[in-house]
Structure formats: C-alpha cells, structure tokens
Amino acid sequence: MTVSVKRRRAKILPQQCVACGTCLDVCPRGALSIFHGSFAQVDITRCVGCGLCARECPAGIIKLEVIE
C-alpha cells in the first residue's frame, strides 16, 4: 500500500502582484518577502500552506497549490 501525502503551498503570480506587503504581515512563518519592491515571493522551505496570505491578499493573486 502506498500512502501519498499532499501538502499545500502558496503560489504567487508575480506579474499581477502589487507588492503591498499584506501577505508579509499575516504569514506566521515569515515565508514571504518582497523582491526589490516589485512583487512578493515565497520561500517554499518555510511555507506550510496555511493559506493566511491567500485569504488576505487584496488582489487575490495568491493561490494554494497542492504538491505531492
């Protein structure tokens, strides 16, 4: 029997990000940062896929993707 563990992590669409920094404020793991004032980026080693950033993003451009 094989068990597949599904995890989630945040995925940001950089072209549509307005770099407001709302996601930085809510991330409990400090997994998000703003790349030179241009767009938000996710540190996938820190992201636990809690979805708080996706919930707060005013533009709704943070999605949670499922990883195997």
Partner 1 sequence: MKIQQHWYHNLWLWSILYFSLGFVNILFALLGLISFCLPLLFAIFGGNKLFCNRYCDRGQFLRFFGSKLGLSRRHDIPDWMHSNIFRYGFMIFFFAMFGGILYTTWLVYMEINSLSEVVTLFWCLEFPWSWAGTTAVSPAVAQFAFGLYSLMLTSELIALAAMLYYRPRAWCTFCPMGTLTQMICKRKIATKG
Specify the residue, 46 or 65, whose C-beta has the smaller distance to partner 1.
Answer: 46
CB of 50 to partner 1, least distance (A): 7
- The footprint of partner 1 (CB under 8 A) covers 16, 18-22, 24-29, 34, 36-38, 50, 56-61
Specify the residue, 16 or 67, whose C-beta has the smaller distance to partner 1.
Answer: 16
Of 15, 10, 14, nearest to 31 by C-alpha is: 10
**Alpha carbons 66 and 9: distance in angstroms, whole number:** 7
Specify the residue, 22 or 41, whose C-beta has the smaller distance to partner 1.
Answer: 22
User: 39 pairs with which residues across the strands?
Assistant: 35
Residue type, 6: K
